[in-house]
Chain A
Amino acid sequence: MAIRRTDTFRLVKPPALRKGDTVGIVAPSTPPFEPADLEFTYKWLARLGLRHKTGRHVLSMWGDYAGRDEARLEDLHSIWADPEVKAVLPVRGGNGCARLLPALNFDLIAANPKILIGFSDITALLLAVHQRTGLVTFHGPTAGAFYKSAYTHHHYVKALMQAKPLGLVTDPEPEKPWKPEHPPARVVISAGRARGRLTGGCMTLVRQLMGTPYEIQTRGRLVFLEDVQEEPHNIDRMLTQLLIAGKLADAAGILVGQCVKCKPGESGRNALPLSYSVEAVIRERLGSLGIPVVYGMRFGHGDDQFTVPLGVMASLEASDRRVRLKIEESATTA
C-alpha cells in the first residue's frame, strides 16, 4: 500500500516575477521540437523584461525524452539551485517527468521556493512538488506555449508577475464562432456552489501517480482535470479509477477543461467501435456525485488556457444562468 500523506501542510507561495529577473528553462520531459523553438521563447521572455538561463540538456534526446533521467534531473536540480533563477519553466511537456520523482531533491525545492509552471506531462512535477513541499505550483503554459494566444499570455503574466488576488476567471472571445472545435467553455454538468483549494492537471498524469507516494490528494479540493488525444473510453477508465479510489466523491467540485483531440479515433491508438463522447462520459461518471461539475473551461491543451495555481483558494458557482470561477487569493508573494 502506498504511503498516504495527510492534506495538512503549510502553503508556501513563491515570490512573484519582476522585470529584470532571470528564469530557468528546463526540459524534464520531451525536448523542444527544434532549437529554433527556443528562440521564440527567448524573444517572448525578453518582451516581458525577463532574462533566461537554459539547462545544459534541454536539447538532448533519448527516445522522446530530453536525455536520460539522470541528465534531465541534473538540469532541474542545477537550475533550481541557481540563486539567480527566480522561476523554473519547463519548455515542453511530452513524457518522462514522472520518471524523475524518486530521485527528485524535494529539500532543495522546499528551501528555495520558486515559480514552477507547466502542464500536460509536467503535471507529475506540479503535483509531487505541491504535495511534498506545500509550494503553490502553476498549471499553465510551458515556456514554449505561453505566447500561443493573447488570452493565455494575459493569464500567465497575471498569475506570475503580480501578487494580487487573481479574481474572476473569464473566457476568451470566440474567434471562430462558425466552426467551433470544442464545447462551449462552461457546460454545466452539475449545478451548485463549491469552495476549495485548487488541485489537478492532466488526467493521464493524475492516473499515472495513483497508488504511488505522489498520488493526488483531493479531499475538500476544487479539482481540475483535462486531457489530450485520448479516446472517450480512456477518459471513462481514468475517471472510473479515480471514482473507485474515492478521489472524486470527496472533492469540493470538479472543473473539466477542454479535452482536445478526444473524439473517437483521434488518439491514433486503441479506438473502440461504437464509442461515445467525452461529454457523455463526464455526465455519466461525474453527474451524480452531488458536487458541482463544469466542463469545457479553457485550460489544458488548447491555444487558450488560463493559469491555475495549485493550492490557492477558489470558489465555483455553477447554475443554469452562469458559471462563476473566482481565484480568491494571489498565487505569489510580493
Chain B
Amino acid sequence: MKKAPRQRSRREVARPVKPPALHPGERVGLVCPASRPASPAVLKRCLRVVEELELAPVLGTNVLASQGCMAGSDEQRLADLNGFLADDSIAGIFCITGGYGSLRLISGLDYAAIARRPKIIAGCDDNCHLLLAVHAVSHLVTFHGPNLDQIASRYTFEHFRNAVMKKGSLKRIAAADLSAGEVADREPYTPVPGTAAGALLGGNLTALTSLFGTPFQPDLTEAILFLEDRNERTDILDRWLTTLHLSGQLARASGVAFGQFAGCGSRGSLNLLSIEELFGDLLEKIGKPCCFGLPVGQGQRSATLPLGIRASFDATGGIIEIGEPATS
C-alpha cells in the first residue's frame, strides 16, 4: 500500500483551499469511486441532471465496469479519478453513486494534481472517504452533496447547483425545509440546545470512522460536525459515534448536526432505543449542542455542505447558516 502524503495539522494551515465555482458550459467528470450505478438507465438520468445544470458531463471510462460490489478494479476506478484530476479541461468531479469502495482508493489519489489545480469534488455516502481524505490532505473544500443518482427533488437540485455554481454565500439550511408543503411542520429534535460556530466537517458516519487511526483521520477540533448514514442498525451507528467519543474528537467539536438516517433503525435487532436517544445520551454527557432532523444526507430533500467552510449552527432552531462563499 502506498504511503499517504503527510497530513499537515489544521492549526498550521487554517485557511481552506476553495475551488473555482463551475460555470455553464464547463466540463465535469462523472466517476464511480465505489459501486456501479444500479442500471444504464440510472446513468442516463445522471447525465440529464448534469445537463440541466448547464454543464457538459464527461463519463469516466470505467463507470460501468464491475468487480465484486465495485465499479471495476481499484486501478480502473483510480484511473478515472486521477485522469479527471490531471485533466485541466475538467472543471469538477461528481460522483454518480455510493455503495462501497472509495476507501480503497484514497492512498492512490493524485494529491499533487489536486494541489496544482483545485477543483470541485462532490458526492456522499461511501464517497465521503474521498471527500474527507482530500480535505484532510489538500485542505480543499470538498462538497458533501448528493451523488448524482440521488438527486430526487428540486430542493436537492437547487441546493447542489447553488453550492457548486454560485459565487455568493450559500443558502441557509433548516430542519423545517423538510416539511415545506406537508401537513405539519417538522421540528428539530434537540437533546442539547445551544449554538456553535466553526468549520463544517463530517458526512457519512460509517465512512468517517473508517478513516480513524489512519493518516487521513479528520481533525474535528472546533468543527460543526454533521453526520448521516443509511441502511444501518441503530446499535452499530452507536458504535461509531462511540469511536468519535473515545477518541476525544466529539468533545473537541463545537456542535453536532445530525442529518438523515434513511433506512436506519433497529432493523430486527432487540434494541428499543432510537438513534436520537442513544446519541443524545452521549452528547448530553459532554454537553455538546446538537440536534436531529437536518436535511443533510440521503433523504428526498438534501442540502449540499462544503467541508472546511465556516458556518454557524443553531441546535435549538435546527439551522445551519453558512458564513462565506464555498468557491473562489
Interface size band for A: 35 or more
Name the contact of B239 in the complex, choosing from A95, A241, A275 (C-beta under 8 A).
Answer: A95
Cβ-based interface call for B325 (8 A):
no
A-binding segment of B143-151, B165-173, B210-218, B313-321? B210-218
Is B213 touching A211 in the complex (CB atoms < 8 A)? yes
Question: What is the bound-complex CA distance between A274 and B100, given in angstroms?
Answer: 11
B243 touches A212 (CB 8 A): yes
Stretch of B114-122, B226-234, B292-300 on the interface side = B226-234
A204-233 vs B, CB cutoff 8 Å, 1 = contact: the mask equals: 100111111111000000000000000011
Report the minimum CB–CB distance from B279 to chain A (whole Å): 12
Q: A63 and B273: CB pair below 8 A?
A: yes
- A213, A272, A276: the one contacting B99 at CB < 8 Å is A272
Minimum C-beta distance from A66 to chain B (A): 12
Q: Which of A225-251 contact B (CB under 8 A)?
A: 232-234, 236-237, 240-241, 243-245, 247, 249
Contacts of A268 in B (CB 8 A): 233, 267-268
- B1–A274 CB distance below 8 A: no
Instruction: Say whether B106 contacts A244, CB under 8 Å.
Output: yes
Cβ-defined contact, B268 with A99, below 8 A: no
* Residue pair B213, A98 in contact (C-beta under 8 Å): no
B267, A237: Cβ atoms closer than 8 Å: no
Which residues of chain A are within 8 angstroms of B272 by Cβ–Cβ distance? 63-64
- Which residues of A have CB within 8 Å of B106? 244
Question: Which of B101, B213, B230, B235 contacts A270, CB < 8 Å?
Answer: B230
Complex: how many Å from CA A241 to CA B211? 7
B216 surroundings in chain A (CB, below 8 A)? 244
Given A63-B271, A98-B246, A208-B242: A272 and B35 interface contact (C-beta under 8 Å): yes
- A270-283 vs B, CB cutoff 8 Å, 1 = contact: the mask equals 10111110001000
Alpha-carbon gap, A33 to B157, bound state (A): 47
Bound Cα distance from A241 to B104, whole angstroms: 9
Do A249 and B235 form a contact, CB below 8 Å, given A208-B243, A240-B103? Answer: no
Known contacts A209-B243, A244-B4: does B68 contact A233 (CB below 8 Å)? yes
Minimum CB–CB distance for B4 against chain A, Å:
7
State how many angstroms separate the Cβ of A207 from the closest Cβ of chain B.
7
Q: Establish whether residues B242 and A98, one from each chain, have CB atoms under 8 Å apart when the complex forms.
A: yes
- Say yes or no: A213 contacts B246, CB within 8 Å: yes
B69 is an interface residue with CB less than 8 A from chain A: yes
B82 at the interface (CB under 8 A from A): no
Please give, as numbers and ranges, the residues of chain B lying within 8 Å of A269 by CB-CB distance.
231-233, 236, 267
Q: Is the interface of A mostly helix, strand, loop or mixed?
A: loop
> Do residues A244 and B214 form an inter-chain contact, with CB atoms below 8 A?
yes
B214–A245 contact, CB under 8 A? Answer: yes
B215 touches A208 (CB 8 A): no
> Which of A95, A213, A247, A276 is in CB contact (< 8 Å) with B68?
A276
Query: Does any Cβ of B come within 8 Å of A62's Cβ?
Result: yes
How long is the Cα–Cα vector from A40 to B235 in the complex, in angstroms? Answer: 27
Q: Nearest B residue to A248 by beta-carbon distance?
A: B1
In the complex, A102 has a CB within 8 A of chain B:
yes
Using Cβ atoms and an 8 Å threshold, which residues of chain A touch B243? 98, 207-212
Chain B residues in 8 Å Cβ range of A212:
212, 243, 246-248
CA distance A95 to B235 in the complex (A): 7
Which residues of A are found within 8 Å of B230, using beta-carbon distances? 270
Partner of B240 from A30, A99, A208, A273 at Cβ < 8 Å: A208
The reply on B162 being an interface residue by CB < 8 A is no
- A-side contacts of B107, CB under 8 Å: 244
- A102 to B248 Cα, complex, angstroms: 10
A178: shortest Cβ distance to chain B, in Å? Answer: 30
Is B238 an interface residue, CB under 8 A from the partner?
Answer: yes
A161 CB, nearest partner CB in chain B, Å: 33
Is B270 touching A64 in the complex (CB atoms < 8 A)?
yes
* Chain A residues within 8 Å of B281, by CB: 68
Q: Is the CB of B217 within 8 A of A243?
A: no
List the A side residues contacting B112 at CB < 8 Å.
Answer: none
Contact A274 B69 (CB under 8 A): yes
Least CB distance, A64 to chain B, in whole angstroms: 4
Instruction: Select B246's contact among A209, A233, A234, A241, beta carbons within 8 Å.
Output: A209
A48 within 8 A of B: no
CB neighbours (8 Å) of A207 from chain B are 209-210, 243
Q: Tell me the bound Cα distance from A232 to B210 in angstroms.
A: 15
Q: A214-B246, A244-B1, A268-B268 are in contact. Are A62 and B214 (CB under 8 A)?
A: no
Given contacts A241-B103, A268-B267, 20 further A-B contacts (CB under 8 A): A63-B271, A64-B270, A98-B243, A204-B236, A209-B243, A210-B213, A211-B211, A211-B213, A211-B217, A233-B68, A236-B100, A237-B206, A240-B103, A241-B214, A244-B103, A272-B69, A272-B99, A273-B35, A275-B68, A276-B68
Can you name 27 A-B pairs with beta carbons within 8 Å?
A: A1-B217, A62-B273, A64-B269, A64-B271, A95-B238, A95-B239, A98-B242, A98-B246, A99-B245, A101-B246, A102-B245, A102-B246, A207-B243, A208-B209, A210-B243, A211-B217, A212-B248, A213-B246, A213-B247, A213-B248, A237-B210, A241-B210, A241-B214, A245-B213, A272-B100, A273-B35, A274-B69
